[in-house]
Amino acid sequence: MPETVFNHNLSAFFKGFYGDLLAPAAGIAMALAFAPFDHAYLAFVALAFIFASWEVLTPARAAFRGFLFGLGLFGFGVSWVFVSVRVYGGADLLSSVLITLLFVSVWSLFPALTGYLTSAIVRRSDHAINSLIPSGIWILVEYIRGNWFLNGFPWLQIAYSQLATPFSGYIPIIGVYGTGFLMALSAGLALQCHHGKRHIVTNLILIAVLFASGALCKNIAWTHSIGESIRVSLLQGNIPQEQKWAPENRDATLRKYRDLTEKHWDSDIIVWPETSIPAYYSEVEESFIEPLEREAVEHNSDIIVSLPMKGDQPHIKYNSILVLGIQRSFYHKNHLLPFGEYLPLQPLSGKILDFLNMRLGHFTPGGDNQTLPIAAGYPFAASICYEDAISSEARTKLPDAAFLVNVTNDAWFGQSIEPFQHLQIARMRALETGRYLLRATNTGVTAIVSPMGGIVKQAIPFETAAISGIIEPMGGLTPYAKTGDTPAISILIALLYLSEIKIRHRGARQRTP
| The residue type at 333 | K
| The residue type at 436 | Y
Q: How far apart are CA 335 and CA 339, in angstroms?
A: 13
User: Under a CB-based contact definition with an 8 Å cutoff, are residues 468 and 232 in contact?
Assistant: yes
Complete DSSP assignment for 385-402: GGGGG-HHHHHTTTTT-S
User: Under a CB-based contact definition with an 8 Å cutoff, are residues 465 and 238 in contact?
Assistant: yes
| pLDDT value of position 2 | 41
| The residue type at 201 | V
Q: How far apart are CA 256 and CA 252, in angstroms?
A: 6
- Backbone φ and ψ for 304, nearest 5 degrees, come out as -100, 110
Rounded to a whole number of angstroms, the CA Rg of the chain reads: 24
CB neighbour list of residue 125: distance below 8 Å, 6 or more residues apart: 133, 499, 502, 503, 506
Give the rounded distance of the alpha carbon of 393 from its chain centre: 12
SS3 215: helix
- Backbone φ and ψ for 376, nearest 5 degrees, come out as 55, 30
Q: How far apart are CA 40 and CA 38, in angstroms?
A: 5
Q: What are the E-state strand segments in 201-287?
A: 224-225, 230-236, 269-271
3-state percent helix, strand, coil for the chain, nearest multiple of 5: 55, 15, 30
SS3 407: strand
- Return the H-helix or E-strand segment holding 356: none
Residues serving a catalytic function are 274, 333, 385
Q: How far apart are CA 18 and CA 13, in angstroms?
A: 7
CA dist list (Å): 158 to 26, 77, 318, 421: 14, 12, 32, 12
Q: How far apart are CA 453 and CA 139, in angstroms?
A: 22
Residue 457 region, left (φ>0) first, then alpha (ψ -120 to 50), else beta? beta
Neighbour count for residue 188 (Cβ, 10 Å): 26
Per-residue pLDDT of the chain (513 residues; tens, 9 = 90+): 344 544 556 666 677 778 899 999 999 999 999 999 999 999 999 999 999 999 889 999 999 999 999 999 999 999 999 998 888 877 889 999 999 999 999 999 999 999 999 998 876 665 556 778 999 999 999 999 998 888 889 999 999 999 999 999 999 999 999 999 999 999 999 988 766 656 788 889 999 999 999 999 999 999 999 999 999 999 999 999 888 888 999 999 999 999 999 999 999 999 999 999 999 999 999 999 999 999 999 999 999 999 999 988 877 899 999 999 988 999 999 988 776 666 655 555 444 545 444 455 578 888 888 999 999 999 999 999 989 999 888 999 999 999 999 999 999 899 999 999 999 999 999 999 999 999 999 998 999 999 999 999 999 999 999 999 999 999 999 999 999 999 999 999 998 888 878 777 666 555 555
Q: Which of 489, 386, 482, 485 is nearest to 434 (CA)?
A: 482
Q: How far apart are CA 421 and CA 444, in angstroms?
A: 11
H helices of 57-126, where? 59-77, 80-83, 93-122
SS3 305: strand
Q: What angle do CA 414, 416, 417 make, to 5 degrees?
A: 140
- Return the H-helix or E-strand segment holding 448: strand 447-449
Q: What is the pTM of this model?
A: 0.91
Q: How far apart are CA 333 and CA 449, in angstroms?
A: 21
- Strand order in 317-324's β-sheet? 329-332, 317-324, 302-310, 269-271, 230-236, 465-471
Residues in the chain: 513
